[in-house]
């Protein structure tokens, strides 16, 4: 009996599940539906071991194909498969999207929805092939030494096309980073050889592609150091009268940073160009004088010194024209009387040397060009000469050095053999050096360089010149 009871228990154990399924099929179907719902919620749509939502729902349908909840579960799984295909496609997972789409196809989702996703999947697969081709071309261009030549086939341009489609593509990110590192290294080398223009262009190009590149701070530091060296060189050029080179240097510095000392240098350079205009105009070299004036205006269009230089150039041109104008005798006499009357009117108002172009001195120069031997012109020159001397002294005492130089030039034009000119020129040169020394102590190297140039032009033998030049040179290093 014990053996019979044991055998009965064993038989019941082995056939319990099939019998339950046979006797109570709804219970089994519900278990499959519950398991399928759990798989569906977790996104586990299909699996070879039967644990996927599709397999569980299909097993329930095999037990009862006509149950509505089973059919709805299968349709819901198909829609979830399409949604999963769209998500994976958006994430760039072409293989995963294709697998999810296949699940939807097996569950017989609407054909129109299938075809729409299949079309996007085909396009993305083509894009992926194109991206792979672009990446290979970019790496080949980089290996061939064409990192960034401004062309569409350069390595950097091709990497950028890859990243426009796949922003997180690691190979493209690393390749672009390597190209930018090479560009910034070249910028550092350009800065070290004082080619600041090239260095700035390379740095700006790299910064446009990646503002957060790790090599940017070191490159900027090297460029700032190069700009500082370039500014000191421009200041030396200005002090030595090499105006063109000085202007190029200051402009390169200002292209790198808003450097106050370089801006001061540009202002002093404008004054130097104005002085050059005066010198050239005095020699009747009107072409170069006009070019110098244009440079001065380009740097400081509102400067009083530049305006005075323009008037001086105009006066010189008028004087030269009057010297060579073939006027009839009667017209020459009439014009002479007119100029002398204008000179007297300006003198009566105290306008002996200023304003430029309308002063008594200007009218005198024009009259002198017409009739240098006329007694009235000689007498007028004799009257203006002490005024010019006093004007120079008055402005010198007030440290108005540029105005003092204007008066000194008028004095020399009126009395080139006056023995007092030598002393006056030395005194003005020494005052320029004194003011320049004071400004140099305050850190204004640009003005100090301008003062040195003025002093040298006035009196190259001034005893204070060598010491001041050495001090300025030390400050510029």
Identify whether residues 104 and 151 lie together within a single domain.
Answer: no
Number of domains in the chain: 2
Identify whether residues 190 and 97 lie together within a single domain.
Answer: no
Residue 70 lies in a domain: yes
pTM assigned to the model: 0.41
Give yes or no for residue 431 having a pLDDT over 90: yes
Domain carrying residue 35: 21-109
Residue 390 lies in a domain: no
Give yes or no for residue 460 having a pLDDT over 80: no
Report the interhelical angle of 445-458 vs 401-414 (nearest 10°).
10
DSSP state of 324: H
Identify whether residues 149 and 252 lie together within a single domain.
Answer: yes
Residue 156 lies in a domain: yes
Gap between the Cα atoms of 87 and 96, Å rounded: 9
- Inter-CA distances, 381 with 340, 356, 362, 365, 410, Å: 11, 17, 11, 9, 10
Give yes or no for residue 23 having a pLDDT over 50: no
Identify whether residues 152 and 71 lie together within a single domain.
Answer: no
Identify whether residues 236 and 154 lie together within a single domain.
Answer: yes
The rounded radius of gyration (Å) of the Cα atoms in the chain is: 46
Instruction: List the beta strands (DSSP E) in 202-312.
Output: none
Identify whether residues 247 and 191 lie together within a single domain.
Answer: yes
Residue 78 lies in a domain: yes
Residue 409 lies in a domain: no
Identify whether residues 101 and 162 lie together within a single domain.
Answer: no
- pLDDT at position 443 is 85
Identify whether residues 243 and 150 lie together within a single domain.
Answer: yes
Q: pLDDT tens digit string along 225-234?
A: 777 777 888 8
Give yes or no for residue 42 having a pLDDT over 80: yes
Among residues 61, 59, 83, 84, the alpha carbon closest in space to that of 71 is found at 61
Final residue belonging to a domain, choices 109, 127, 155: 109
- pLDDT at position 21 is 47
Give yes or no for residue 71 having a pLDDT over 80: yes
The encoded tokens of residue 98 equal: 């294709």
Identify whether residues 172 and 252 lie together within a single domain.
Answer: yes
């Amino acid at each position: 009996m014990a053996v019979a009871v044991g055998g009965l228990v064993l038989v019941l154990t082995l056939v319990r599940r099939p019998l339950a399924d046979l006797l109570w099929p709804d219970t089994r179907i519900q278990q499959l539906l519950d398991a399928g719902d759990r798989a569906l919620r977790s996104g586990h749509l299909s699996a070879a071991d039967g644990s996927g939502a599709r397999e569980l729902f299909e097993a329930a349908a095999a037990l009862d194909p006509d149950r509505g909840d089973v059919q709805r579960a299968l349709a819901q799984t198909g829609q979830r498969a399409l949604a999963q295909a769209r998500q994976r496609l958006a994430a760039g997972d072409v293989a995963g999207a294709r697998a999810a789409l296949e699940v939807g196809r097996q569950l017989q989702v609407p054909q129109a929805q299938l075809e729409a996703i299949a079309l996007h999947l085909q396009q993305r697969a083509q894009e992926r092939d194109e991206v792979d081709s672009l990446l290979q071309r970019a790496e080949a261009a980089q290996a061939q030494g064409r990192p960034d030549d401004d062309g569409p086939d350069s390595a950097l341009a091709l990497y950028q096309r890859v990243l426009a489609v796949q922003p997180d593509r690691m190979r493209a990110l690393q390749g672009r980073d390597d190209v930018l590192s090479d560009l910034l290294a070249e910028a550092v080398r350009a800065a070290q050889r004082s080619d600041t223009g090239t260095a700035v262009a390379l740095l700006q190009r790299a910064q446009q592609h990646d503002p957060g590149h790790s090599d940017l701070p070191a490159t900027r530091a090297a460029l700032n150091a190069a700009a500082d060296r370039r500014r000191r060189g421009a200041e030396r050029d200005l002090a030595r009268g090499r105006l063109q080179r000085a202007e190029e240097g200051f402009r390169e510095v200002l292209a790198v940073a808003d450097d106050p000392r370089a801006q001061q240098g540009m202002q002093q350079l404008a004054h130097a160009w104005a002085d050059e205009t005066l010198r050239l105009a005095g020699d009747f070299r009107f072409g170069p004088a006009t070019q110098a004036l244009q440079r001065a205006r380009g740097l400081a269009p509102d400067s009083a010194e530049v305006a005075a230089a323009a008037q001086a150039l105009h006066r010189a041109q008028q004087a030269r024209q009057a010297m060579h104008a073939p006027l009839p005798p009667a017209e020459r006499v009439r014009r002479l009387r007119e100029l002398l009357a204008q000179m007297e009117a300006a003198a009566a108002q105290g306008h002996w040397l200023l304003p430029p172009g309308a002063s008594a001195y200007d009218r005198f120069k024009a009259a002198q060009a017409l009739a240098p031997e006329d007694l009235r012109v000689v007498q007028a020159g004799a009257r203006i000469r002490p005024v010019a001397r006093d004007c120079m002294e008055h402005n010198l005492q007030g440290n108005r050095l540029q105005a003092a130089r204007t008066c000194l030039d008028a004095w020399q034009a009126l009395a080139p053999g006056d023995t007092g000119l030598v002393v006056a020129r030395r005194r003005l040169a020494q005052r320029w050096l004194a003011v320049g020394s004071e400004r140099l102590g305050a850190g204004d190297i640009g003005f100090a360089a301008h003062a040195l140039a003025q002093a040298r032009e006035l009196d190259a033998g001034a005893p204070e010149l060598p010491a001041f030049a050495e001090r300025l040179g030390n400050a510029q290093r």
